[in-house]
Chains A and B, each alone.
Chain A
Amino acid sequence: MRVPDISVEVAGLALANPLMPAAGPLTSSPKAAERIAATGVGAIVAKTISVAAAEVPHPNIARLPYGLLNCELWSEDPPERWFSEYLPAFKALGRPLIVSLGYKPDEVRELIPKAEPFADAFELSTHYVGTDPRPLYEIAKAAKETTEKPVFIKLSPHVPNIEEFARAAEEGGADGLVAINSLGPGLAIDIRRRKPLLGGEHGYGWLSGPAIKPIALRAVYDVSRTVEIPVIGVGGIASAEDVVEFFMAGASAVQILSAAILEGVKVFSEILKELPNLLSELGVESLRDLVGVVHG
């Protein structure tokens, strides 16, 4: 058998391989992104940019036995710096670049044109929506009216009806979905200090890493059966096996964050090395053949 093909295509983006860093601290500055690009990832997703720099509480990331708890919000750098300095440097890394933006339709309309020269696609965070799917329709629509480039909507897992959210995004014109964002809010307490581990008003944080993998897989499975547009899987991925699982559940590409913080950015290069071997072992010629095979 030939070496299995791990290149993928999502919403018109041709990627040499399915791995990308998820929006977060791995790509919060050009220097950080450079290290990720060097691991061989198929695309880069930048840290979420919003209309103003975030005032992030401290501490904002804690390691738990089963993952990470974070309250990082969006980028702490002002949008002007992203447009004048960071995004040009990200683009110079020579990988397909997905620019993550938040959070409201008007804000997205304002931000997209400024990021347009650098972006190959956009990912819109909907982390702070409630349980009504309507805003997803609106944000997708606003984005598609502003750009011709692919627009992905990133889903958060706290909603009881994630399929409706997926459908709303698709109806709004989204070209793809990203599932899932971190899960929460949650809480962890420092018993010696009688205070929450994380800073911020209540010390709330969002859970990521191995703990949320089954939930992310289920979300990918559910939404990929509901909509026609492709789904990028994210949540707890740490190995080539995990990547295959997400593809089988319906993902067309994957993102990783926590594993790279917990175990090192080597996780990307190690998966890239291991994935073709695993596909050979499974008798699979192309990763693309696995998308949604468990849908039946």
Chain B
Amino acid sequence: MYKIVSRRELCGGIWEYVLRAPLVARAAKPGQFIIIRLHERGERIPLGIVDWDPGQGAVTVVFRERGKTTSQLVREYCPGDVILDVVGPLGNPVEIGRPGRVMCVGEDAWYANLYPLARALWEGGNEVICLVSTPNGSFWMDKFSAVAEVNLIGNPAAALRERLERERPALVWASGSPAMMRACSEICGERNIPIRVFLHPIMLDGTGICGSCRVEVGGEGKFVCLDGPTFDGAKVNWEALEVRLSAYREEERLALVRYFGKETG
């Protein structure tokens, strides 16, 4: 059982939850994620660990209220309540190194994933520029601006293209929708700039058993939970990923209808 320490709506439909999970908080590294399950019959969903405090034993996740589980979390789970399972930290920590100037492009709730990365890059003596966007408002501008230059942009791919005209980073990171990360990967590809992306496919066990998180990278099958969650954006087979993500769209819609008792969105 994992207690919800606090929660707040950061901006239109994007929520920050702080969970008490001391072991996760002690071990977390940038790029890693947890898988949560709300209750016995709940589905498992992966969420990036976007901040953590080993002293308080707390980990922070940020997500957009979108499917059944995130809707239920927001509607029924408040500070003081407990959720059944928090498994993690999962996935491989990002190797920070000393790339020099790094540009991080992020979209919607996914841009929170860039924060621990930006912080670690900054602590490692790199120059970090974050370009972030949501369809409504912004969040964590204060946290980001403590570790990076942060720009509030419109269309991420367009903003990235425009920035790359003016300065050349050693590395680009992207965290957003598959379409956005694909577009950013293409833009970097045209300029021979390496790009890393955060993938977030459907996951179940998070241990490489179920195969539900399979993606194709550089012509090889990879499990996001074991081999990721970050990959070379130039090598990801984006088409295959899109197909996989839409595979359960009908089931996901039905789950939402069942939860709300009516058609939504």
Contact = CB atoms under 8 A, between A and B. Distances in A.
Interface of A: 25-26, 28-29, 31-32, 35, 58-63, 68, 76, 190, 192-193, 195, 197-199, 261-266
Interface string B179-191: 0000000000000
B249 interface: no
B136 A193 contact: yes
Contacts, number: 76
A198 B141 CA distance: 14
B153 interface: yes
Interface of B: 8-13, 122, 129, 133, 136-139, 141-142, 145-147, 149-154, 163, 166-167
A35 B149 CA distance: 7
Contact of A61 (B122, B129, B138): B138
A62 B138 contact: yes
A190 B136 contact: yes
Given A62-B138, A197-B12, A29 B129 contact: no
A4 B139 CA distance: 42
Contacts of A193: 12-13, 136
A26 to B, nearest CB: 7
Given A197-B136, A197-B137, A59 B12 contact: yes
Residue of A35, A76, A192 with highest tally of chain B CB at under 10 A? A35
A198 B138 CA distance: 9
Residue of A61, A193, A195 with highest tally of chain B CB at under 10 A? A61
Given A61-B138, A62-B137, A31 B146 contact: yes
Contacts of A263: 151
B139 A59 contact: yes
A25 B154 contact: no
Contacts of B141: 25, 60-61, 261
A32 B11 contact: no
Nearest to A263: B151
21 contacts: A25-B141, A25-B145, A29-B146, A31-B146, A58-B10, A58-B139, A59-B139, A60-B141, A61-B138, A61-B141, A63-B138, A63-B154, A76-B142, A190-B12, A197-B12, A197-B136, A198-B137, A261-B151, A265-B149, A266-B166, A266-B167
Contacts of B152: 61, 63, 68, 261-262
Contacts of B145: 25-26, 28-29, 32
Contact of A58 (B8, B129, B146, B154): B8
A32 to B, nearest CB: 5
A157 B8 CA distance: 33
B149 A58 contact: no
Contact of A59 (B10, B133, B153): B10
A264 B163 contact: yes
B13 A63 contact: no
Contacts of A35: 149
A60 to B, nearest CB: 8
Nearest to A203: B137
A29 B154 CA distance: 25
A68 B154 CA distance: 12
Sort A-B residue pairs by CB-CB distance and give the 10 closest, nearest first.
A59-B11, A59-B137, A62-B137, A190-B136, A63-B152, A32-B145, A190-B12, A61-B138, A29-B146, A197-B137
Contacts of B142: 25, 28, 76
Contacts of A261: 141, 150-152
